[in-house]
Chain A
Amino acid sequence: MTDTRRQSPSGLRAVTGRIGSIAGHHQSLTILVGLALVGALLPLISAVPPFSGFGTQKDWVGGFADAGVFVLLAVGLNVVVGFAGLLDLGYAAFFAIGAYTYAYGASTFTGLQTPFWIMLVAGAVVAAVFGITLGAPTLRLRGDYLAIVTLGFGEIVPVVALNADTYTRGTNGIVGLAQPNAYGLFGITSFPITNPWPWYITVLGIIAIAFMILYRLEDSRLGRAWVAIREDELAAASMGINTISTKLLAFAIGASTSGLGGVFYAAKLGVVDPTQFHFDVSFTVLAMVVLGGMGNIWGVAVGAFVIFEIQHQGLKQLGAFIQSLNVPVFQVPVLGSVDLGGINFLKFQFLLYGLALVAMMLLRPEGLFPSRQRRHELHEVAEESEEAAEDTSEAVKGA
């Protein structure tokens, strides 16, 4: 690719091309720079009207830190569903396992005070072990049989957490989880509850590390093996891929990312209880992956962020916005008077969320940012001719 460097940059296209080529060569650096940019921009945007009117910057940053947890969950599930093509509907189980691991490692319940940073690794490892354990019985299953078994596991974990009172304190959940300690770095010792900034920066750091690892995995021998299994398991096996270890690694790595999210979430909230980890979490994360564009790590992260913000900010603000408009009361035949301003949108948030899911899928069935490969599969004819044209024009330039 030395050709691109020799070309004289002319116009915007050449500049973006150059950035693209640098990005291609230094993936980890790109991730760091990209996340730093996003991480710096988000709080800035939230301080500008109209967003600043929806809440203080502190509220926004706290929300972004929570969104970060879902970004972690989504990129983890993306390994299982997007890369390896294994439909997992019980992903919240590993989230729960990560969270409970932290609750056992650092709370007044067990009396242990293991540092948060060690627990992050421990949570990831424990979740990975569970990923393998729960993945093992499903190896023979295909397609939707796998989906329902993972759904089952996803439900068994909260049921156990709910009913094994002696070990999990049942519905009350485990409280008094320790705050992470920054050991005086940036003048912080224990992460404060009132200040969301340390949490926000921590989750950005975790996401950066997860991104770097996952991008490298995607391009590795293992990543190619996942894609091979996704496309045709039998062919992959006959080409010498060990389908058992490849699938188990997908479960383990997907679960460990979720475990990281679980530990962080538990530490931030200070409480774990079984109701936090039901099906709706698994489904929401799956919706994030599909909406973002399966197989594309950045796309999935954006999908997670968008859905999280729709759920937690968008719908609330919509209600406030409509109320602020002072819509006159309509007189509609049959229905009588319709007062749009009087509708409590919070009550209808799941309706709007459902409508958003349906609408987004109908408009972009392949997701917002489909991975290159998937885009090819879907728009084979159109894009192939387009790219062929591009190739020839580049060839002409190069000559």
Chain B
Amino acid sequence: MSRPRPSLGRWRLPVGAVIALVVAFLIILFGTLIGPEGTIQMTLGRGVQLAETQYINALTVGALYALVALGYTMVYGIIELINFAHGDVWMVGSFASWWVITSLGVSGPITDPVWLVIVLILAFSISMVATGVLGVIIERFAYRPLRNAPRLAPLITAIGVSYILENLIENLISDSIVTIPRPIPNTELNLGLFSIGSVNLFVIIMAVALMAALHLFINRTRLGRAMRSTAADRDAAQLMGVNINQTIAVTFFIGSALAGAAGVVQGLYLGYSQFQIGFYGGLRAFTAAVLGGIGNTTGAAIGGFVIGFLEVTCNVFGYGKWSEAFVFATLVLVLVFRPTGILGQQQGDRA
């Protein structure tokens, strides 16, 4: 099955993104003005200020989901498996970052910039390598033996692995919420037009940088080319000399490492983790991947931000309890009109 790159016009994607961001801001602003907080007398200026904060939150949450969604979409793209264990890999990543940060003796914001950078680099690199290796191990033992089995067989092992990871963390580390110290001091940075929290800014920049790196890796390197060819046609790629097992292992490593980065981000931004976050959070991220068009990395990023906005929008309108239903309802609506997601290509028929 061929998977051509989305052929968007040169400016359509950036222009579309800018329009979408503006529209999203207006919706959130509308929400803050008429939502439960806005029902008290509120000036437009105060409303804009509140909407701004929510907007930044939406971007940050969206970046988090996008990072996780990338892993789903990469694995799906290459072996057509819904990797239900991926959300739990993300959870393990957040616990790894908790371990790194607490064992470095960090208990709160760090003022010394050099030490802060060292802590962040250690947290990111150790968590990403740990989850990357975990992903490769999962692939090796739970998915590779089933590569030629019926399609649902690896799906069931994925569910099994998800139970295993959750239970191990629950019993060996903690069965309740752990608080992850936040090393980045939270200050409001005034950027002229608007102000943004330092953590939010860091998370967004980090996510965008990782996505850009992934994009370059897939499109510019030899291994990336091997990944694309394996995704397009595994047998043909093998005949052309691509080492399929190695390529799939690399895909799992990168996807899981991104989930590890998302785990660190979870700690930095939300400051907690729990053994169950992987399941529901993973589900949101998977929804994001499907919304954007599964198998398409740009789509996964877009989907992540869309889900972030939907959640925050629900909150500002005062329907936070319903955000789950709202997210899925949106997904259904999008798929009814675009059955392969926002950026998905019409696929050929397969049974």
Residues of A that sit less than 8 Å from B by CB: 81, 85, 87, 137-138, 140-145, 147-149, 151-153, 155-156, 159-160, 162-163, 230-234, 279, 283, 286-287, 290-291, 294, 347-351, 353-358, 361-362, 365-366, 374, 378
Contact = CB atoms under 8 A, between A and B. Distances in A.
A234 B347 CA distance: 13
Contacts of A152: 287, 327-329, 331-332
Given A362-B146, A374-B150, A234 B164 contact: no
A179 to B, nearest CB: 33
A159 B322 contact: yes
Contacts of A137: 332, 335-336
Contact of A361 (B76, B153, B327, B340): B153
A110 to B, nearest CB: 24
Of B160, B166, B171, B321, most buried by chain A (CB within 10 Å of CB) is B160
Classify the secondary structure of A's interface with B: helix
Contacts of A378: 150
B277 to A, nearest CB: 14
A318 to B, nearest CB: 15
B351 interface: yes
Contacts of A366: 149-150, 153
A347 B347 CA distance: 45
Interface of B: 76, 80, 82, 141-142, 145-146, 149-150, 152-157, 159-164, 166-168, 170-171, 279, 283, 286-287, 290, 294, 321-322, 324-325, 327-329, 331-332, 335-336, 339-341, 347, 349-351
Nearest to B344: A145
A347 B275 CA distance: 14
12 contacts: A148-B286, A149-B331, A155-B325, A231-B351, A233-B349, A279-B283, A286-B159, A350-B163, A361-B153, A361-B154, A361-B156, A365-B153
B171 A141 contact: no
A152 B284 CA distance: 10
A353 B168 CA distance: 12
B290 A357 contact: no
Of A81, A143, A230, A294, most buried by chain B (CB within 10 Å of CB) is A143
Contacts of A356: 160
Given A143-B350, A148-B287, A350-B167, 6 more contacts: A156-B328, A159-B321, A287-B159, A350-B166, A366-B150, A378-B150
B153 A355 contact: no
Q: Top 3 A-B pairs ranked by shortest CB distance?
A: A354-B163, A357-B160, A152-B328
A330 B157 CA distance: 31
Contacts of A163: 321-322, 325
Contact of A234 (B76, B155, B349): B349
Contacts of A145: 290, 294, 335, 339-341
B146 A351 contact: no
Contact of A365 (B146, B162, B163, B170): B146
Of B170, B171, B328, most buried by chain A (CB within 10 Å of CB) is B328
Contact of B159 (A151, A351, A357, A365): A357
B339 A141 contact: yes
A322 to B, nearest CB: 16
B152 A358 contact: no
A366 to B, nearest CB: 6
